[in-house]
Structure 1
């Protein structure tokens, strides 16, 4: 997995990098088909913004969250991403089960 963390108008300190990595590890362990992750942290006046693009086989998942605190924005972003990953994973498994149901047994 390729992880890229970028800061816009904010310096990505080792503490922030470690925090983002630990939060994303929690989400990514649910799903092993992740090819790359791009995280962009930005500051705009009084708003801290965190956004992530998760590249999986066949789809890109994008999530963004903003808050007055950067760490709270990262938390909200990972919670949203976790829900999207769970939903995508459920769709994939439902799709696989549907294809098995439609097979006609041979007599």
Structure 2
């Protein structure tokens, strides 16, 4: 799984990178066919936004979240992606 992290109006620190990669390891446990992950962290005035596009075998999943704290936004975004991955995995297993 290749994770690329981009920051708009925010410097992506090592702590942010480590937090994102740690959270995506949770996603990797549920579904091991994750090919590519692109995360964009954005700061606009008082809002901190985290958005991610995950490319898995057969589909692209997208989630974003806006909070006052970047770490909370990342956590919520990962939770949304996790639900989407589980749903996709169950859907593909039902067809077999």
Corresponding residue for residue 58 of structure 1: 58
Match of 2:12 in 1: 12
Q: Determine the C-alpha separation between the residues in 2 that align with 1:82 and 1:34.
A: 12
1:24 aligns with 2:9: no
CA RMSD of aligned residues (A): 0.6
Consecutive aligned runs of 4 or more in structure 1 exceeding 3 Å deviation: none
TM-score for the superposition, normalised by structure 2:
0.97
Structure 1: gaps (5+ residues): 97-107
For 1:12-91, list aligned pairs within 5 A. 12-91=12-91
**TM-score, normalised on structure 1?**
0.88
- Larger Rg belongs to: 1
1 CA distance for matches of 2:29 and 2:44? 32
Uncovered stretches (5+) of structure 2, i.e. residues with no partner: none
Question: Match for residue 103 of structure 1?
Answer: none
The separation in 2 between residues aligned to 1:66 and 1:39, in whole angstroms, is: 14
Shift in Å, 1:35:
0.7
What per-residue deviation string (whole Å, max 9, x for no partner) do you get for residues 10-54 of structure 1?
Answer: 000000000000001101221011110000000011110000100
